[in-house]
Structure 1
Amino acid sequence: MLGPTEFFRSSAQLKKQYDRQFIKMASRYGLTANDIHLLLFLADYPECDTARDISERMFLPKSCVSRCVDSLTRQGFLSSREDERDRRIAHLSLLPASSPLIEHGRRIRQDFFALMCCGFSPEEYRQLDRLTEKISNNLQEAFHYD
């Protein structure tokens, strides 16, 4: 029977293997895994385009997001523009140079998910979807985040 110990051990194993894929990819481009995840996040959620949005939704410290944004901007993968109402806020946009990295990252993500769910029946996949959403909702409600 699945208990907390096994659940968290399996979750840690999943994250470790997932992170390894992105560390390997990022090193090919001279980036960090967080850089790649930030690019993927902006590609998937273009409306969440501020450092604050990214920090809150990716559960990363603002200092980490700031380092990634600075690095990705310097390397020509991101641009930023000042908010019209609040000059302290910068809105981030992906630049065309980021497209190959995003495509590569999406392939890694899709391949990893397919490997993780290998052998699942359609019903098991639907169960996973429902349970994952339920866990996420429980955490959002308990810890009050979006």
Structure 2
Amino acid sequence: MDAISPSEFLTISKKFLHIYESYCAPICEKYQLKQNELDILLFIGNNPEFNTARDVCEIRKIKKGIASVMIENLVERGYLRREADPKDRRIQRLILTEPCKPVVEDGRRRQKDFFDAVHSGLTLEELLTYQKLSDKIRLQIIKMEGELE
């Protein structure tokens, strides 16, 4: 069996993202959100310890200018609020608001639906193997990213 080609790997990665975004489209439509706005809300909702604009940019790889505009839109719409960090007033924490809860709940359900669909037909053993391989690839990508900086 031949290993996956670089071209095929990139194509699959792009298709994966495209299909994920199509799963999110009903949520974006329902709440009148752009995909990046939903991504920011779900990122903070799923990772509350990473709640600054810098975290969004560095970890989610959303460009600073785009993140700034999206965060401002979310604040204006009442989905996020900024709160000064008590230890360092220069740091602004992004806090999900009460009106944001249904968006995050719906978004999480769609994420689960997507990953359930992607994993359907795989055995537990195959899923565990996939997890091990994904972890290795993720660590390699992080290493490569550090070498580029």
Short-chain TM bin: over 0.9
1:3 correspondence with 2:5: yes
Deviations 1:62-85 (Å, cap 9, x if unpaired)? 111111111111111111112345
Which structure 1 segments of 5+ residues have no match?
none
CA distance in 2, matches of 1:13, 1:47: 30
Give the corresponding residue for 1:80: 82
Give the corresponding residue for 2:15: 13
2:91 to 89, 92, 113: 89
For residue 93 of structure 2, give the secondary structure of its aligned residue in structure 1: strand
Which structure 2 segments of 5+ residues have no match?
none
Query: For 1:46-65, what aligned pairs fall within 5 Å after superposition?
Result: 46-65=48-67
Residue 30 of structure 1 deviates from its aligned partner by 1.2
For residue 93 of structure 1, give the secondary structure of its aligned residue in structure 2: strand
Query: For 1:92-111, what aligned pairs fall within 5 Å after superposition?
Result: 92-111=94-113
Give the corresponding residue for 2:27: 25
Deviations 1:1-29 (Å, cap 9, x if unpaired)? 32212111111111111112223321221
CA distance in 2, matches of 1:84, 1:125: 42
Q: State, as a whole percentage, how many aligned pairs show the same letter.
A: 30
Give the corresponding residue for 1:118: 120
Q: TM-score, normalising length from structure 2?
A: 0.91
For residue 81 of structure 2, give the secondary structure of its aligned residue in structure 1: strand
CA distance in 2, matches of 1:105, 1:123: 28
2:129 to 127, 136, 144: 127
CA distance in 2, matches of 1:128, 1:46: 26
Give the corresponding residue for 2:145: 143
CA distance in 2, matches of 1:24, 1:5: 30
CA distance in 1, matches of 2:42, 2:27: 13
How many residue pairs were aligned?
145
Q: TM-score, normalising length from structure 1?
A: 0.92
Amino acid across the alignment from 2:141: L
Root mean square deviation, CA, Å? 1.5
